Amino acid sequence: MELQVEQLCKSYRKKEALRKVSFTLRKGTYGLLGENGAGKSTLMRLMATVDFPTGGSIRCDGKDIFQMDEEYRSFIGYMPQNYNVYPGFTAKDFLEYMGVLKGIPRDRLKSRIDEVLEFVNLSDVAGKKVKTFSGGMKRRIGIAQAVINDPRILILDEPTAGLDPRERIRFSNIISDMGKDKIVLLSTHIVSDIEAIAGDLVVIKKGEILETGTVDALVRKVKGQVWEAVVSQEVYQRLRKERSVIHLKQMGEEVQVRFVGEKYIDAACPGTEISPVEPTLEDYYIFAGGREETESGE
Ligand SMILES: Nc1ncnc2c1ncn2[C@@H]1O[C@H](COP(=O)(O)OP(=O)(O)O)[C@@H](O)[C@H]1O
Ligand SMILES: [Mg+2]
C-alpha cells in the first residue's frame, strides 16, 4: 500500500496552513514532526478525509482518497488531537459506538472490543467511565478506537501528549508492533518522543515540508558539527546569537552548552574546552530550524 500526498494545499480564510506539501508513505512508522502551528493537525485531518484540501491531492494506491470515500474510511484509523469522548460513556460503550460507526458487524464487535482493550491494556477498566480516566488512559482509549477496524493506515495526532514516562514506554511498544504491517503516521512537536518510535520522519515547518528521511539520515547531516562546552554567561549569550545552542545546565557562574555548527566560538574565550559529541535528532532539528526556541526542556 502506498499513500501519496502531492502538492497539497490548505487555506483557511486568510491563513495558508499547508503549502504544496508532497511526500509518499509506505508500510512503516512515520513521525510527523513540527512545532505548534506548523500544520500537522491540518495535514492529518486531510489525510483522514475529515476536511478537504484547497489544492493538490492525496492518493491511495493511485486512487484519490476523497473519491474513494467510504472505501478509504473502512481501512483508516484516526485519532484527532483533541477529541471528547461522550462524557457518560464507559470504555466499552465508547468502543461499541465507534465500532458501529465504522461498520463493524455486531457479531464480531464484541470480541474485537475485548481484543483492543487488551491491546491498550485497559481491560480491567472496561466498565469505567472514560471521564474518570487519566490523560494517558484517555490517549490509550483513543488509540483503541483508532485501531478497532484493524486499519491499514493509522493516523495519530499527538498521541504522546500528556503521557507520563511509563505511559510513553508502553505507548512506543504498542506503536512499534503496529508499524510492521501498516502505514502508521504519528505527529508530535517533541523530538524525543519520535526518535525511538519512528524510522522515518516528515519534518514540517510553517506549512511546508522541511525534509523527509530516515532518522539516521537526518542525524547524519549534523555529524561532526555538534559540540559541548562550559562557557561564561557572557559567551553563552553571544553564542546564542551565532549558533543553534541548547542550554544544558547551569554550573555555578557558568553554563554547559551544546551547539551545532562550526567549532570555533572565537578568540575572545581562550582556554574554553570544546568537545565533539555524537549528534542526536534534536541537534538536527534545531540546526534545520525546525524549532525556534532553543532552550532545553519543553
Ligand atoms: N479551522 C481553522 N481556521 C483557521 N485557521 C486554522 C484552523 N485550523 C488551523 N488553523 C491555523 O493553521 C495553522 C496550522 O495549524 P495546525 O494544523 O493545528 O498546526 P499544528 O497541528 O502543527 O499545531 C495554524 O496557524 C492555525 O492557527
Ligand atoms: Mg496539532
Each residue's pLDDT tens digit, 156-171? 999 888 777 887 887 7
By the 8 A CB rule, do 112 and 148 touch?
yes
**pLDDT score recorded for residue 294:** 44
Tell me: the pLDDT tens digits for 2-27? 999 999 999 999 899 999 999 999 99
**pLDDT score recorded for residue 97:** 92
Read off the pTM: 0.89
pLDDT over 70 at 267, yes or no: no
The Cα 270–Cα 282 span in angstroms is: 28
The C-alpha cell 467510504 sits at: 70
Give the nearest ligand 1 atom to 44 CA: 17
User: Does residue 232 sit in helix, strand or coil?
Assistant: strand
Comparing C-alpha atoms, which of 197, 119, 116 is closest to residue 158?
A: 197
Lowest mean pLDDT among 57-66, 80-89, 228-237, 277-286: 80-89
**pLDDT score recorded for residue 197:** 83
Confidence of residue 265 (pLDDT cuts 50, 70, 90): low
CA distances from 151 to 18, 74, 182 (A): 26, 7, 8
Q: Say how many C-beta atoms besides its own lie within 10 A of residue 280's C-beta.
A: 18
Q: Is 17 in the pocket of ligand 1 (CB under 6 A)?
A: yes
Q: Is 40 in the pocket of ligand 1 (CB under 6 A)?
A: yes
List Cβ neighbours of 135 (8 Å cut-off, separation of 6 or more).
162, 163
Question: Which residue, judged by its Cα, is nearest atom 12 of ligand 1?
Answer: 17
